[in-house]
Structure formats: structure tokens, C-alpha cells
Structure 1
Amino acid sequence: MIAILAPLLIPADLATRMTMTARLRPPSADYLLGTDQLGRSLFYRVMLGANTSLMIAGAAVAMSVLLGLPLGIISGYYRGHVDNVLMRLVDTLLSFPALLLALTISAMLGPNLPNTIIAIGIAFTPFLARIIRGEALRVAQMPYVEAARAAGTNDLQMILRHILPNIMPPIIVQATISLAFAILAEAGLSFLGLGTQPPQSSWGLMIQASRDYLDIAPWTALVPGAAVALTVLGLNMFGDTLRDVLDPRTK
């Protein structure tokens, strides 16, 4: 709700307005969460940073689902040589840690917001492709799929009508949980200078800017760090709840 409403309710200049006489102020009645090294209000920056961080994470996960769906479904449905070729490609990407792969892609493309989305989206694609392939393999062997095949249903109709709708629940759950990891990845990239760039508000960028002031102003790191931790915890709990709701075996 904060990510959606903050840009509508808070003027953007409040997050970038510098008051040099109020540098590194601790939390108080005037500055609810304190100020950073440039006298900017952390309260406004952390709320507007929610929009940036969640927008990057949501777009990256959507991209990884769009890339992973055709890879996983085609591999799980056709099997054989097609499965071997596609999964070896996926295994090659899985051999790199996701954050390291995102770091490499972001460094090659250059540090900005669209490239951060692309880097995280590509890095998360192999994980989702593997899960989608497993679900497609399971559904493809169901009796109703065999019956549809015997009735003369072509491959495209089979995938769109029978395979895709029945593998969506676990994909939705995994995408929700992946949002949490995407937020951590965005924070990591921004911390290393390869993600969101100043003066835009981002939780990872705020943590990166606070590293030189941890001994005298620890709140500059604790505030965005707590925002990341609470959001990741909330998304993981939301993913667990979705799994319980969408999995009929838990009822």
C-alpha cells in the first residue's frame, strides 16, 4: 500500500530536498526516522523507495515468468531432445549464483533502472523454468491430457487449454516468493553501484549511502534495512499462505 500510495500522496521533492543544517539527525518529532548525510528525510525516502524497489522486483519477476513459461512448458511437454537442449541451457545459467549472474549482466549493460530489471529477470529465469518444467511434466501425464490427445487436440490447444491453467497455482506461489529474492537482489545491485542511481530513492541505494556513517548515524542503514527485511518476511508469509490456499491437498 505504501509503494502504491506514497508517490500519489508525497511530493517527489520531499525525498530529495537537502537541508545541510539537519544532516544526520536522529529520529525525532521533526524527522520521524531521522535524516541522512545530506539532510534528507529518511521517512519520505524510505516510503518513496518502496515504490522503486517493488516496481523493479515486480517487473523483474514478471519478465522471468514470461521467459520461463515457454522454456519450461515446451521442455516438459515435448521431452526428448527438446527437453535435453533447453534444460542444458537452463543448467548452464543455474551454475552461476543468481546475484553474480545479475551483477555480470548489469555491469555489461550499464547501471540504470531498466537494465537492473533485465539483469534480475534473466538471473531468475532458470529457477522458474525448472519449476515450470516439473509441473508441465506432471500435468502432461494426467489422464485428461491423454484423453484430449486421443480426441485429436493439437499441441497448441493442449498447452493453452490443459497444461497452462493447471500449472498456474504453483507458478503464482513461486513468483510471489521470488519477489522477496528480487528485492534483495535489487538492494544488492544498488549497494554495489550497479542498480538504481542517485537521486532516485531506493532501499539498496540508501543502505549503500549509509555505509560511511554507521558508527555515528546507524539509523541511516537500519531504516532501509528494516524496510527490506519486513517486506521480504511479508512476501514469504504471503507466498506460504497462497500455497495453502491454492493447494487442494492442504484442505
Structure 2
Amino acid sequence: MRGFLTPKGLIGAAIVIIVLAIAVFAPLIIPDKLATAMDMRARLSGPTLAHPFGTDQLGRDLFYRVMLGARTSVLIAGSAVLMSIVIGLPLGIVSGYYGGVIDNVLMRLVDTLLSFPALLLALTISAVLGPNLTNTIIAIGIAFTPFLARIIRGEALRVAQMPYVEAARAAGTTDAMMIVRHILPNIMPAIIVQGTISLAFAILAEAGLSFLGLGTQPPDASWGLMIQASRDYLDVAPWTALVPGAAVALTVLGLNMFGDVLRDVLDPRTTS
């Protein structure tokens, strides 16, 4: 647990906790009408006491929109990573535990998906399904599944060769009980670490899809959508892009730092 008391651990944990708190409580505190209320007389205004982060091209308060945008990013990223774990976990465990023909068939399927860049695969799926929140989750979840399946397969293969697993197999333990009692508990640290790091990439993927018009749709608040809307005003109102861009960068930085510390704490094979 000492890893969490390092500067990297404390900073990463603080950022993650703050972002999660904003994502959970901001929608309860900030009415949607404050984030969508337009004041054309105050459009593209710089940061002031009334508007700490300034306003966008429609006079909407960027502070409120960034706060509510955290909900969108966390919801999509969390749901997509959860979906990729739900799909990738059985694929990886079955492939790593049984090996042989089953392993070859499943991993060739995974390799086919891995041959496409994750963002390009997510773009293609989102374009086919149509741009909305649910389809964005599905697109990112499918795009991230092969990476998690590969990692889980490697961990399952490693654990399946351990002496205590061989002893349990010799004692007549069924495959299902072997997986539940011995394989799954021993690969959970790797899943937790990879899931945390994948959240950072999922937030970037959501921002990229929304920027390209294939993710979150107006009038919902989204960091990627806010950056996309600011393209034509960078020379006169750079804060319209800097504010949501900083939110994305800070969140990804915090998740990566937190994921690194989790890896050091949960994986005994690594050292700080």
C-alpha cells in the first residue's frame, strides 16, 4: 500500500476521486438548463467572476458544461471498459486455460480485430450503428475487447501452469471450479490494472468520436463535442478549446498515474 503514498499515487488518486465526484454529483447540483442556457450578449466572453471558464459561441457557461461533460465521459468510458471486460474475460480465460485448437481459433479472431487500430475500429462501428451515446459505448467496448482478451489470456495461461493448479486438477477438480476458484481470483489484479488504464484510452476515444461527430450529440455536454465546436473560434476565444482539452488531459493523466501505482501495488512481479 506504500505505493499510494507516493506523490504519483496521491496525485493520481486525487484526480480520479475529483473527476468521479464531479461526474456523480454535478448533474444533481447543476440543472441542465444552466448548461444549455444561451446568452448571445455574452458569447465568447473570457473568464470572469460570473463565468469562471468563459462562455462558448452560443453564450453558454463553459464551467457548467465542463462539469456536466465529466458525466458523459465517465459514463461512456466506464460502460465501454466494463463491456470489453465482460466480453474479453471469458474469451481470454477459455483460450488460456484450454489452449490447443480452442486457443488458436479464439486468438485468431482476436488478432483479426487487433489488426485494426482501436480508434479506426470504433469509428467504423459508430458510423455503421449511428452516432448516439449507446452506440458510442458499443463501438469503444468492441474496439477495446481484443486488447483485454489478449492480456487476460496471457495471465490465464500463466496461472494454469502453476503447481497448485496442477495439484487441484490431479485431485479431480472440475474445469468450472478450477476457473472460479484458482484462475479468476489470481488474474483479477491484472484485470483491475488494465481496466483502469483502459479508462484513460476510452475517454480519449470518446472525445475523438465526439470531435468527429460520431459520438455524443448536441445538446448533451461532451468534452470532445466542446473541442469540436471551438475550431472556428480558436483565434478569438482559445479558452473554448483549452478548457475542455485541459479536462481531458488532466483526467487521462490522473488515470494513467493511478493505473501505474495500482500495477506496482497489485502485481508482486513489479517494483516501484
Give the TM-score taking structure 2 as reference length: 0.91
Q: Between the two proteins, what is the percent identity of the paired residues?
A: 83
In structure 2, stretches of 5+ residues that fail to align are 1-20
| Cα shift readout 1:103-156 (whole Å, capped 9, x = no counterpart) | 000000000000000000000000000000000000000001001101111111
Residue 183, structure 1, aligned to residue 203, structure 2: yes
Structure 1 equivalent of residue 121 of structure 2: 101
| Cα shift readout 1:195-238 (whole Å, capped 9, x = no counterpart) | 00000001001001111111111000000000000000000011
2: CA distance, partners of 1:19 / 1:13: 12
The structure 1 residue matched to 2:163, chosen from 107, 125, 143, is 143
Residue 82, structure 1, aligned to residue 102, structure 2: yes
The structure 1 residue matched to 2:240, chosen from 209, 216, 220, is 220
Structure 1 equivalent of residue 50 of structure 2: 30
Structure 2 equivalent of residue 48 of structure 1: 68
Residue 166, structure 1, aligned to residue 183, structure 2: no
The structure 2 residue matched to 1:60, chosen from 64, 74, 80, is 80
Count how many residue pairs are aligned between Structure 1 and Structure 2: 251
Structure 1 ranges of 4+ moved more than 6 A: none
Q: Which amino acid letter does the alignment assign opposite residue 11 of structure 1?
A: P
2: CA distance, partners of 1:149 / 1:49: 50
Structure 1 equivalent of residue 223 of structure 2: 203
1:248 match: secondary structure: coil
Query: Structure 1 residue 28: deviation in Å?
Result: 1.0
Residue 239, structure 1, aligned to residue 259, structure 2: yes
Q: Which amino acid letter does the alignment assign opposite residue 169 of structure 2?
A: R
Give the root-mean-square deviation of aligned CA atoms.
Answer: 0.8
2: CA distance, partners of 1:212 / 1:172: 40
Give the TM-score taking structure 1 as reference length: 0.99
2: CA distance, partners of 1:148 / 1:17: 63
Q: Which amino acid letter does the alignment assign opposite residue 112 of structure 1?
A: N
Higher relative contact order (CA 8 A, sep 6+): 2
Query: Structure 1 residue 248: deviation in Å?
Result: 2.5
2: CA distance, partners of 1:12 / 1:242: 35
2: CA distance, partners of 1:187 / 1:107: 15
Structure 1 equivalent of residue 150 of structure 2: 130
2:158 match: secondary structure: helix
In structure 1, stretches of 5+ residues that fail to align are none
2: CA distance, partners of 1:211 / 1:64: 32
Structure 1 equivalent of residue 7 of structure 2: none
1: CA distance, partners of 2:267 / 2:150: 19
Structure 1 equivalent of residue 93 of structure 2: 73
Q: Which amino acid letter does the alignment assign opposite residue 8 of structure 1?
A: L
2: CA distance, partners of 1:215 / 1:77: 57
1: CA distance, partners of 2:196 / 2:62: 27
Q: Which amino acid letter does the alignment assign opposite residue 168 of structure 2?
A: A
2: CA distance, partners of 1:67 / 1:213: 42
Q: How does 1:104-115 map to 2 (within 5 A)?
A: 104-115=124-135
Q: Which amino acid letter does the alignment assign opposite residue 176 of structure 2?
A: L
2: CA distance, partners of 1:202 / 1:156: 43
Structure 2 equivalent of residue 116 of structure 1: 136
